[in-house]
Structure 1
Amino acid sequence: MEHDDNSQRHVQITAHGGRADVAIDGKQVDPSAVKAYSISHLAGEQPEVWRDSAGRTDDVLDETTGRVVPLAPDEELVWDGLGAVMPFGRPAITQPFGGSVAVEPPTTDYQAVLPIDAPALRRDDVVRVAGSVRPGGPRDPQLIGRRFRFSDEAVGTYSVVRIVRVQVID
């Protein structure tokens, strides 16, 4: 759908039990088209969700490094598909007294945006950005290959996406 950025659209969503009707400017829109549009325009990365089904109970102490590590790679792939990983908040730039600029430190929290049909994440699940399908290249090339640990319950769940907070692992 093309429109002038200065124009305003009236979007109405009406819930009926497990189904929703969507209208834009008074015209009915197929909810699956809204989902496809949202995912295709918001999601550009290919996140994967990995889960250590045994948790940390089978991990061992590496006496050389002093770290607890898995005996062998024991994570299993739970989901992969289109989604997005982006900073949770941007650094705030404010103008304090005297005109000098103060920059607050950036947060290490990110948010993962996953389709609603992706499985619910569990604490300590790992989200890995496997690649990008964006025509102009990845939104942030440094995210490719990075891993994030799921840290909170969903920040928000909407009719087409689930947004969860994740923290950088490596």
Structure 2
Amino acid sequence: MNTLAQLQTDIDTRVKTIRDSHPDWLCRQGCDGCCRRLAAVPKITAAEWHYLQEGLMALPPEQLREIGREIAALAGQVSRPVICPLLDKTKGACLIYAHRPAACRTYGFYVQRDQGLYCQDIESRVTDGALTEVVWGNHDGIDHRLSALGESRELPEWFSQWRRDFD
């Protein structure tokens, strides 16, 4: 199994364990708060980008063009928060869910030393003591594994290069 596939399997296993022990977990389809409030333009590795391309190629051409316009707009965007260009805003769902990057897979389930990487709603549950028994995933470990997957670039940079090669 390649490195990205193994990483995704490990993340999905941790997520399933948390969800199975907390059936009322907030992160699920229709909850798109993290997708609507990104702190920065998404940055992904080369391996993640190649996998994400598969999801993009499965989309209808008109939808792909719209995503392309939204991604291009991100390149010069300085205001925050950032809305993910891969979010179907009416359904609150990712258009390429099966191909999403590790940052999206781990959000709400993994924490990084000295930083909470979960949404405000989950953070308030942690503060209230409702999630004291959760065994969070280690995001520092994920970052280490991601560093082995090739260079990282912001999504607009990957996309613009791909569109030049694709067109």
TM-score of the aligned structures, taking structure 1 as reference length: 0.21
Higher RCO, 1 or 2 (CA under 8 Å, sep at least 6)? 2
The structure that is helix-richer by fraction is: 2
The structure that is strand-richer by fraction is: 1
Question: Whose radius of gyration is greater, 1 or 2?
Answer: 1
TM-score of the aligned structures, taking structure 2 as reference length: 0.21
